[in-house]
Amino acid sequence: MAFELPELPYDYDALSPYMSRETLEFHHDKHHKAYVDTGNKLAAEAGMDGLSVEEVVKKSFGTHQTLFNNAAQHYNHVHFWKWMKKDGGGNKLPGKLESAFASDLGGYDKFKADLIAAGTTQFGSGWAWVSVKNGKLEISKTPNGENPLVHGAEPILGVDVWEHSYYIDYRNARPKYLEAFVDNLINWDYVLERYEAATK
């Protein structure tokens, strides 16, 4: 199953001023496209082009680093675009998520502080996550393209902390970008969809 670059689910200007058109054009049209193109080439060479992106990610982890890097980043970004929306973010979580965040993560305020801390303290490139593992929510961070799938967890929310996701808009102020992401961009409906799928 060949990787395909998805269309953005909103206009390039929709997330402004928290994420600019210029950032989305570079991040989606250049960076994500490169992961798709390189991932397809490497998956075909490795005889994995018939597998789903999740299967390629799990199978290449620890065995084929360059394929893993591109496949994992493709997987991460397919969801990253959907984890954001215009007028998103803030503490108005759907009821089911609100109670799960309260019981597993200590509530919205603690979740926000912990996710921002995870993203801020990820040295170099990487991601910060909320995942379901063993039926419970947890916050984690991973280097480069690595994601919770390869650690036995199902990501329901992720935020990209590679510099290309924020440098145009925030320069080196990664915490400011993370705060804007949580306060103004998160698509809680998609987080809920992922949560319900992960806890079936």
Report d(CA 87, CA 102) in Å as an integer: 23
Pinpoint the alpha helices (H) of the chain.
Answer: 21-24, 33-45, 53-60, 65-82, 95-105, 108-121, 167-170, 174-180, 188-198
pLDDT-derived band of residue 71, with 50, 70 and 90 as boundaries?
very high
Query: What is the Cα–Cα distance from 196 to 128, expressed in whole angstroms?
Result: 20
pLDDT at position 1 over 90? no
Confidence of residue 128 (pLDDT cuts 50, 70, 90): very high
pTM greater than 0.85 (yes/no) = yes
